Chain A
Amino acid sequence: MTRPTLAVWKFASCDGCQLSLLDCEEELLAVAGAVDIAMFPEASSSMRPGPYTLSLVEGSISTPEHLEQIRTIRAQSRYLVTIGACATSGGIQALRNFADAGEYAAAVYARPDYLSTLATSTPIAEQVSVDFELRGCPINKAQLVEVINAFVNGRRPAVASHSVCTECKRSGTVCVMVAHGTPCLGPVTHAGCGALCPRHDRGCYGCYGPKETPTASLAAPLQKLGMQGDKLVRFYRSFNAWAPEFREESRAHETP
């Protein structure tokens, strides 16, 4: 039996998510045993043409070329899984979606006319159909291995979409919001990080994006802790600013 082939792709992103794969250490050998890594420029200069069984796509759609590239990749992949906040929600670079991208470019670059970018940064799933979205900024490597395992073995990935609170409580972490008065996005954020920040006495920054159920009712307890207007807008506008639930929530608190 030939082994399934794996390809890893990059769009607008920092590479942190694909590095999680190299970061798997012991598990990496198991991954290399289970799949034939045919395309992973970050790891090897040997790049073989498709089709591929599983494509992992990192990064957001940010340039006109991206629009073409993602279609080609989709056409060559049996399964396409997006990894990380950029690929699943547009990433931190989607902050430009709330502003004038041209103005940003002019402020940063001496010759903005050399740039060719889209006005927005958007998730992969807005362009092509995606078989699974793995959240996180960056993704959790154990979850990445689980996703590969699931697709190789033809089952659904066991990746929970409930709150970070669930991870806090399971790990015995004291609630930073209730016990310390620290504003925290944990109640509305998708689990996966293992409650990394609350375990280190910080509020959740929402790196894994919105959880499965509504976001709006967290505003009242956050406001009680002094998060009004702009503070609240910025709280929701970070790595997953363009995820629909966080986008709407941040807009709801904008001063007109």
Chain B
Amino acid sequence: MASNGPKLLPAAQLDALFDALQRRGYAVVGPRLRDGAIVYDELKSMADLPIGWHDRQGPGRYRVEAGGDRALFGYTVGPQSWKKYLFPPHETLWRGQRGENGFAIEPPPPPPRRAFIGVRACELQAIAVQDRVFTGGAAVDSRYAARRKEIFTVAVNCGVAGATCFCVSMNSGPRASRGFDLALTELLDAQRHDLLVEAGSDAGAEVLAELDAPSAAQADHSQADALVAATAASMGRQLDTTEIRALLYGNAESPRWKAVAERCVSCGNCTSVCPTCFCSDVQDVTSLDGSTTERERTWASCFTQSFTHMAGGSARVSTSSRYRHWLTHKLAGWIDQFGTSGCVGCGRCITWCPPGIDLTEEIAALRADAEKP
């Protein structure tokens, strides 16, 4: 039974995977129901998963509901992303203590080993994008790199698409194609409830070999393929990326930016929930007597005034300039800067925007305006 080809694990036995990961010293983190949403948190066993829960999303609206089934992964992405672990909202980069001769620097503790379970295809793509941003250039973010090295990734192929999902447009899902150690597809119908488990790396193959489960049959693969194809066919939204750079760079003065600014509150939620947004602010926090200091890094947002604060004030004082900057950078600037779009089509910025501003709608409107004779 030591094969590491795709296997069929009865869904009720997912704890075997938890055990295999925990034996290797990983803290398992994954989806969990809390305060009316599916968030990411530490999981002791599969019982902590939001079993039977589903989500309903729309612009500025999110609700969970019990579906009357035993689905383990019957929902899409929630308000949080894996960014909270890889690029945490608060991070102490180092502590300094004043001594007799100058000051001593105390580095932060080494990062924990974590197994992410339930990573969606769009999220794998988001992690790949942040990998590129933080570690792909000449200046490598060593803390990010150290945390990233300790991660084991269990992906899940999506069996449902949310109303704000558009991964098909962004070419990032709904099937996990790379960047995972193991990938699961949940096969649930009146007759069965199984998980098709496939390995995507040597580390994944090693764990897979340990699972006491039969090899998957051709019929299982066909069912999984059909499921993912159905998800792809039911995307809640789409975004036409044709010549997107020219569209955004060429329409910086479009009246559409002012129109969206009437609705945008500049609250910055879109940037917080976006799994690729990477901006941060660094501040030294010094004790009153000057004996200790901490260098703190926190998430920053291009929707704030401090983001572009220079001598003389902020560079982007109007809401339209901030929204335009965010969208243009996300969908066009990133391609020039990092060779990839900054958007993976997860839909979080649509759902978690209080006024429900929808970037797919904004792009469509911008395109329609640009094509007007």
Contacts and interface: CB of A to CB of B under 8 A. Distances in A.
Contacts of B192: none
A220 B62 contact: no
Contacts of B356: 221
A180 interface: yes
A166 B80 CA distance: 13
A220 B304 contact: no
A171 B266 CA distance: 19
B267 interface: yes
The interface size bin for chain B is 35 or more
A217 B261 CA distance: 8
B288 A169 contact: no
B272 A178 contact: no
Contact of A30 (B269, B289, B301): B289
B285 interface: yes
B63 A179 contact: yes
B244 interface: no
Contacts of A138: none
Contacts of A252: none
Nearest to B263: A217
Nearest to A188: B265
A225 B262 CA distance: 19
B92 interface: no
A179 B35 contact: yes
Contact of A172 (B39, B63, B286): B39
Interface in A120-162: 145, 148-149, 152-153, 158, 160-162
Given A187-B269, A218-B265, A170 B352 contact: no
A90 interface: no
B84 interface: yes
A179 B288 contact: no
Nearest to B351: A178
A211 B273 CA distance: 20
A84 interface: no
B298 to A, nearest CB: 7
Main SS at interface, chain A: helix
A163 interface: yes
Interface string B27-38: 000000011110
B236 interface: no
B281 to A, nearest CB: 9
A217 B264 contact: yes
Nearest to A149: B288
B309 to A, nearest CB: 10
B178 interface: no
B268 A179 contact: no
B79 interface: yes
A177 interface: yes
Interface in A166-223: 166, 169-175, 177-181, 184, 186-188, 201, 211-215, 217-218, 220-221
A34 interface: yes
Contact of A178 (B39, B265, B299, B352): B352
A149, A178, A213, A224 — which one has the most chain B CB atoms within 10 A of its CB? A178
Given A158-B283, A170-B299, A172-B80, A187 B35 contact: no
B263 A169 contact: no
B268 A221 contact: no
Interface string B286-329: 11111000000011010111100000000000010000000000
9 contacts: A33-B288, A149-B287, A169-B269, A169-B299, A172-B80, A175-B79, A179-B63, A214-B266, A218-B355
Interface of B: 34-37, 39, 60-64, 79-80, 84, 89-90, 262-269, 272-273, 283, 285-290, 298-299, 301, 303-306, 319, 351-352, 354-356
Give the 4 A-B CB pairs with smallest separation, nearest first: A169-B272, A187-B267, A170-B89, A213-B266
Interface of A: 27, 30-31, 33-34, 145, 148-149, 152-153, 158, 160-163, 165-166, 169-175, 177-181, 184, 186-188, 201, 211-215, 217-218, 220-221, 224
Given A152-B288, A166-B304, A175-B37, 19 more contacts: A31-B288, A160-B304, A160-B306, A162-B303, A169-B79, A170-B299, A172-B89, A174-B36, A175-B269, A177-B60, A178-B62, A178-B352, A178-B354, A179-B37, A179-B63, A217-B319, A217-B355, A218-B354, A220-B263
